[in-house]
């Protein structure tokens, strides 16, 4: 069978596959894995090779599609994944050596939007069945957490991870792959969510986080001071919904019924907001390192691309002789490379291949076990 996109899905006679089969999976060193990411509003695919590293990766952003609505519309996201995923796969598979070179397929199974997850899962399982290779589901946040291991100088286990994105903000003690001890997490809005909501109430459009950070570069340091939620709470949890409310109160104090905020005031508010977020994330991260006795911090997720956060964390950690590891900027946002890599780590041990494709729109990272 050949799809309209030209992606070959030639169906062969299925065979039973187990971890003890004679044509078992190659070891991680030589494994080549196709990764598929479709959890929200990025469609992404990549091919990772255990010996040669990342061979190909492509990302398509739906930001322009959702901009008119001020946020992600799940149904539109799912339909756009349907349109874009197969052409992306065709390209990365060709660049990655062809379908015959693929030893396994990894796909994001959660957390995320249910319709969007189903698109990636259905395509991944269909290809795995057709090509007679194993497929493995990947936790989206585990992909982010392991993304810095793609770099030339990766961190060694154990380390503390700060996962900070639009849907999640948490600190974890990472003992190894699948061994994650949650030290603290957001009690309400995640940091990235707070960025987007604050940008929206300031009229900065969508996606709000990058727009807010860009405008903050023009801000006047010290003009406004916003609260640092839970900075001295004595634990490693976060709360950012109150900070968003504080921004709204401050903005209302400087606008009237006839006059909106001037550009400089908006920039100054953006800077004050970003300062508050960065200080909380930085101090909580250092506290986590002190609590665990570790000296390595991994920062991952979309907000991990924020320049001020990187500078603040690196400066503060340097004073304490801590090392901070980041993925490349292109791998901070949702991408297929992190899913392919995480899948390779798991496929080395997990050889199950079934026809069902379970997804988990809500999936606690702490419930994710280590590979068997």
Per-residue pLDDT of 4-57, as tens digits, reads 445 554 433 333 333 333 333 334 557 999 999 999 999 999 999 999 999 999
Q: Is 1 within a domain?
A: no
E strand segments, the chain: 32-37, 42-49, 53-61, 104-110, 135-139, 159-164, 169-176, 179-185, 296-300, 323-325
Q: Is 9 within a domain?
A: no
Q: Is 193 within a domain?
A: yes
Confidence bin at 104 (pLDDT 50/70/90): very high
Q: Write out the residue range of the structural domain in which residue 231 sits.
A: 155-326
Q: Is 18 within a domain?
A: no
The pLDDT value given to residue 351: 52
Q: Is 8 within a domain?
A: no
Same domain, 257 and 315: yes
Give the residue-averaged pLDDT of 199-227: 94
Same domain, 200 and 271: yes
Q: Is 313 within a domain?
A: yes
Q: Is 17 within a domain?
A: no
Query: What pLDDT digit, counting tens, does each position of 243-259 carry?
Result: 999 999 999 999 876 67
Same domain, 172 and 279: yes
Same domain, 161 and 290: yes
Per the prediction, the chain carries an average pLDDT of 89
Round to whole Å and give the CA distance between 40 and 193: 14
Same domain, 206 and 248: yes
* C-alpha atoms less than 13 angstroms from C-alpha of 9 in its C-beta half-sphere: 17
Give the CATH number of the domain where residue 205 resides.
3.30.420.40
Chain-centre distance for alpha carbon 312: 21
Same domain, 128 and 205: no
Same domain, 242 and 274: yes
Identify whether the C-beta of residue 190 lies closer than 8 Å to the C-beta of residue 196: no
With pLDDT > 90 as the criterion, what percentage of the chain qualifies? 80
Confidence bin at 193 (pLDDT 50/70/90): very high
Q: Is 11 within a domain?
A: no
| Count of domains for the chain | 2
The pLDDT value given to residue 26: 38
Query: What pLDDT digit, counting tens, does each position of 111-153 carry?
Result: 999 999 999 999 999 999 999 999 999 999 999 999 999 999 9
Residue 304 in this model has a pLDDT that exceeds 90: yes
Round to whole Å and give the CA distance between 87 and 107: 16
Give the residue-averaged pLDDT of 84-109: 97
CA distances from 178 to 157, 345, 346 (A): 12, 10, 9
Same domain, 232 and 344: no
Please tell me the pTM assigned to this model.
0.89
The pLDDT value given to residue 350: 63
Give the residue-averaged pLDDT of 224-229: 96
Residue 217 in this model has a pLDDT that exceeds 70: yes
Residue 79 in this model has a pLDDT that exceeds 90: yes
CA distances from 129 to 172, 212, 353 (A): 35, 45, 8
Same domain, 100 and 194: no
- Per DSSP bridges, beta strands 169-176 and 104-110 are unpaired
Give the residue-averaged pLDDT of 79-96: 98
The pLDDT value given to residue 30: 74
Round to whole Å and give the CA distance between 347 and 136: 7
Same domain, 188 and 311: yes
């Amino acid at each position: 069978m050949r799809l309209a996109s030209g992606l070959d899905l030639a169906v062969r006679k299925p065979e039973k596959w187990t971890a003890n089969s004679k044509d078992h999976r190659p070891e991680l060193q030589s494994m080549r894995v196709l990764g598929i990411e479709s959890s929200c509003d990025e469609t992404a695919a990549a091919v990772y090779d255990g010996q040669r590293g990342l061979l190909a990766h492509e990302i398509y952003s739906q930001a322009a599609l959702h901009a008119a609505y001020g946020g992600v519309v799940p149904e539109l996201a799912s339909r756009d994944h349907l349109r874009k995923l197969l052409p992306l796969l065709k390209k990365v598979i060709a660049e990655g050596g062809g379908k015959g070179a693929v030893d396994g397929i990894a796909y994001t199974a959660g957390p995320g939007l249910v319709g969007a997850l189903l698109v990636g899962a259905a395509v991944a399982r269909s290809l795995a069945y057709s090509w007679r290779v194993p497929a493995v589901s990947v936790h989206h946040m585990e992909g982010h957490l392991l993304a810095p291991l793609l770099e030339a100088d990766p961190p060694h286990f154990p380390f503390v991870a700060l996962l900070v994105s639009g849907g999640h903000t948490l600190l974890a003690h990472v003992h190894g792959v699948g061994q994650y001890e949650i030290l603290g997490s957001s009690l309400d809005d995640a940091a990235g969510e707070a960025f987007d909501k604050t940008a929206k109430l300031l009229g900065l459009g969508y996606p709000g986080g990058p727009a807010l950070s860009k405008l903050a570069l023009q801000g006047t340091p010290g003009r406004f001071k916003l609260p640092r939620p839970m900075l001295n709470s004595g634990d490693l949890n976060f709360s950012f919904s109150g900070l968003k409310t504080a921004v709204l109160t401050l903005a209302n104090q400087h606008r009237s019924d006839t006059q909106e905020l001037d550009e400089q005031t908006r920039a100054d508010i953006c800077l004050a907001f970003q300062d508050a977020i960065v200080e909380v994330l930085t101090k909580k991260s250092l506290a986590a390192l002190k609590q665990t006795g570790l000296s390595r911090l991994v920062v991952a997720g979309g907000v991990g691309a924020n320049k001020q956060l990187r500078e603040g964390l690196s400066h503060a950690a340097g004073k304490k002789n801590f090392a901070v590891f980041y993925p490349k900027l292109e791998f901070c946002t949702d991408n297929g490379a992190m899913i392919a890599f995480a899948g390779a780590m798991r496929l080395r041990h997990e050889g199950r291949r079934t026809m069902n494709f379970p997804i988990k729109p809500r999936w606690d990272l702490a419930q994710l076990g280590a590979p068997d």
